[in-house]
Amino acid sequence: MIVVVGSLNVDIVVPVPHHPRPGETVLGGDHARHPGGKGANQAVAAVLMGALVAMVGRVGDDDEGEFLLGALEGTGVAIDDVLVSRDAPSGIALITVDAEGENAIVVSPGANARLTVSDVEGAAGLIERAEVVLLQLEVPLAAVERAVQLARGTVILNPAPAAQLPGALLDEVDVLVPNRGELELLSGGGGDVVASARRLRPGQVVVTLGARGAVVVSGDAAEEVPGHAVEAVDTTAAGDCFCGALAAGLDEGLGLAAAARRANAAAALSTTRRGAQPSLPTRVELDSFNMSPGERGSC
């Protein structure tokens, strides 16, 4: 079983010819409303890969909260430990997607920012039983730290949005999954991806590199996972898709490199469709996808 401790947001997505500069107004296309949030996206990505998944988080006591809970429950994610805040609205993400499929996102956390250590401790039995605990940084760091302390299985941390993290937390993480920008912030500099990953405390780091694929660094070993040739229309939630599929692979018993290769293909496939959760592929779709790496893709 996988337990995801993280955020749930309603995504308001607007296609634009280009992302606005400061002070600029850009006329976009018709907006769309989708269920999202890094935590919820990763939970759905994992359950669509065939994993048993439970979510720990918070929504507001509003229509958006009902929408988010219904979307999760509809995919098969267990929502018994998603709590309802009476004093805050549900989280919302405002997303623009340009003609190249690249996105820019502003998040209003709302109820996500009210997830407490006590909330996490209320789900202690669930977290302790999980084979994999998957976390991100769209909820308070104290809640993330407590979930890591409670976990008995494999701990995966996607350090997004990018933030400096205490060494004590990184010491308890089994698999860190940053993108290149997050890696640079955590490692204290740019340069070689493998060298930067090895400067971090976790023994296993999977760095996602967008169209280039990913790099798996485990101790002294490093393996490149090339990107896939796809026509990307929207990269929203591609990284979340990668994390959820990676967690599902590890929960299934795959080695880290094999799980990363499958996650990379799932993420590439997700970029061929618009939206966050609506773009996430099923296991059947992934199995029929051309898994051979190409010159371009996305993860």
> Residue 46: helix, strand or coil by DSSP?
helix
Chain centre distance of CA 140: 16
Specify the amino acid at residue 209.
L
Q: Which two tokens stand for residue 36?
A: 């999202």
Fold of 2-18+28-288: UDP-N-acetylmuramoyl-L-alanine:D-glutamate ligase (3.40.1190)
Rounded Cα gap, residues 31 and 15, in angstroms: 7
Specify the amino acid at residue 27.
L
pLDDT of residue 295: 35
Rounded Cα gap, residues 82 and 6, in angstroms: 10
Rounded Cα gap, residues 218 and 210, in angstroms: 20
Chunked in runs of 10, what are the mean pLDDT values of the chain (299 residues)? 98 94 96 94 98 98 98 97 98 92 91 98 98 98 98 98 94 96 89 89 89 92 91 86 98 97 95 89 88 43
pLDDT of residue 276: 84
pLDDT of residue 294: 44
Rounded Cα gap, residues 60 and 63, in angstroms: 8
Name the residues annotated as catalytic: 240
Q: Is the pTM of this model over 0.75?
A: yes
Domain range list for the chain = 2-18+28-288
The phi, psi pair for 256, rounded to 5°, reads -60, -45
